[in-house]
Amino acid sequence: MIRFDSVGMRYGSGPEVLRDITFELAPGSFHFLTGPSGAGKSSLLRLLYLAHRPSRGLVTLFDKDISSLSRPELSLLRRRIGVVFQDFRLIDHLSTLDNVALPLRLAGAREDQIREHVSELLRWVGLGDHLEARPPTLSGGQQQRVAIARAVINRPSLLLADEPTGNVDDRIGTRLLHLFEELNRLGTTIVIATHNEALIERFNHPRLHLQGGHLDRLPPGAKPY
Amino acid sequence: MLKIHYDLPLHRDSASRFLPWITGLMVFLGVMSLAFALVLGNAASSWSQALGSSLTVQILPLAPGKPGQDERVRQALDLLRETPGVSAARALPKSESEKLVSPWLGSNASLSDLPLPTLVDVRADGTSLNVALLRQRLDAEIPGSVLDDHGNWLGEVSRAAVTVQTLAFGALALIALTAILAVIFAVRAGLQLNRSTVELLHIMGASDRYIARQFQRSAAGNASRGGLAGLVLAVLALFAAQRIVGPQSGLPIRLALPLTDCLWLLLVPLAATFFAALTARLTVLATLKRLP
């Protein structure tokens, strides 16, 4: 489903931040992405959610070589990917409901269905009373839950999350991981970038470990050197 | 009612807020330029129509001993009245001829001593009159007669009207170009101000057309609001000018426009709205191509 073959990435004419990255993720797999700060986790995620093109190598997403796709085809591919950004990237002038509804609107869903589904999901993540609230009026944890709800609302084929539990307490963090596992059981491939070792130990999934621009694949429970 | 959904806060940024003002001003200037060009075109056309159907024959007085002036005028009238295409011919009384030259010579001048030519006002009927043949016959049968079909004067007037009209249309084109540049500037500023949201929409799978549509609608809304205000102001200004330069002013020009010309003026804000939307769309699509 996802395949990276000798992929390198650089920003502009700077040095390569990722070098010879080669890995493959099976459909419906669950991986943690770990590594020290500056190792290239966010850059790898940017390649995965098609915000950046590799400077070399081959990236295959959903069995399609992304370098051969047209712009409209790339847009359709991006709609199958849900992203939880580290800084949430909510749109401040839109309500909580409209922020979460965005992927459905992009997919052309009907307004009555949008309202029903979004309200239900926001209630589930504990934001049922904040449907019309604007993001700046929400706490960090609440904003993070809105960002997660937006990423999962259209049941993406691939979910990418950058530190999704960084601003919530353990109880909410565990609940969110259970949500990701539930999505995973329904067939979504999950990659979660995190520093939270306790969470990685509690949820037994393999990890992709980045260090010095290189990637290692570790089985569940194994720790990097 | 269909609610337009904006993912981008375009109504809040300063670049978008100034667009209705600039469009309003441009539409005002555009309507005034077009109205000027149309008024001038209509005036030239009516002068040409009025003069094109009329000719003047001057019968110059001859030296003593030659046939009498009255006899020659009568011969000329007979010739003119039997010429196909002439609907009427009338010799101006001497008093009227004197009135025509009095502005140049003064009212106290003794005009009765002057050998003034007799003027014959000829009305042509449609286009069947052969002016060249008529001129030949007058030359042959009534020596000392001169036929003036106002061709030179009409040519001058027509050239002047076309020149001024071209300038007015040129001004209109410059105004349109300025408005388009203003829209490009506003859209680019809007893209820059909302760069992170545009990138977010792009990452989430919004097509270029989806993002462009938001800018396009915003530009169309702003341009139509500004354009309507500009049109209303221009119409008020035209009404005011019409009252000042009315028929009582003595000027050989009428500012009142026929209905078809008024419809052309209505097209200015509509065209401004259309081109603002189109420019916004093309600008956004060109800029988004830089995203991966």
Per-position DSSP letters for B86-140, written without gaps between them: EEEEEEPPHHHHHHHHHHHH-TTS-GGGS-PPEEEEEEE-TT---HHHHHHHHHH
A52 neighbourhood in chain B, CB within 8 Å? 292
Reported ipTM exceeds the 0.95 cut:
no
Which of A74, A89, A105 is facing B5, going by the closest CB pair?
A105
**Tens-digit pLDDT profile for residues A9-23:** 999 888 888 989 999
**Tens-digit pLDDT profile for residues B92-114:** 887 777 777 777 777 666 666 67
| pLDDT score of B63 | 66
Band (pLDDT 50/70/90 cuts) for residue A126 is: confident
| pLDDT score of B257 | 76
**pLDDT tops 70 at residue B66:** no
| pLDDT score of A60 | 95
Answer yes or no: do B203 and A105 touch at CB < 8 A. Answer: no
> Residue A25 forms beta bridges with which residues?
A2
**pLDDT tops 80 at residue B126:** no
The token pair that represents B73 in the structure block: 């005028």
**pLDDT tops 70 at residue A113:** yes
Rg (CA), chain B: 31
Q: Helix A96-106 crosses helix A140-152 at what angle (to 10 degrees)?
A: 20
Q: Which helix (H) or strand (E) holds B147?
A: strand B145-148
In a mutational test of the A interface, the residue from B204, B209, B287, B288 whose CB has the highest number of chain A CBs within 10 Å is B204
**Tens-digit pLDDT profile for residues A23-55:** 999 999 999 999 988 888 989 999 999 999 999
| pLDDT score of A5 | 93
Measured CA to CA, the distance from residue A75 to residue A214 in angstroms comes to: 29
The 3-state secondary structure of B178-238, one letter per residue: HHHHHHHHHHHHHHHHCHHHHHHHHHCCCCHHHHHHHHHHHHHHHHHHHHHHHHHHHHHHH
Which distant-in-sequence residues (6+ apart) come within 8 Å of A126 by Cβ?
Answer: A145, A172
**pLDDT tops 90 at residue A83:** yes
> Among residues B35, B97, B107, which one has the least CA distance to residue B69?
B97
| pLDDT score of B2 | 45
Answer yes or no: do B203 and A83 touch at CB < 8 A. Answer: yes
Answer yes or no: do B292 and A78 touch at CB < 8 A. Answer: no
Helices (H), A30-166: 41-48, 71-78, 96-106, 111-124, 140-152
Tell me the residues of B at the A interface, defined by beta carbons under 8 Å apart: 5, 7, 9, 12, 196-197, 199-208, 210, 289, 292
Measured CA to CA, the distance from residue A127 to residue A120 in angstroms comes to: 10
> Among residues B176, B261, B268, which one has the least CA distance to residue B227?
B268
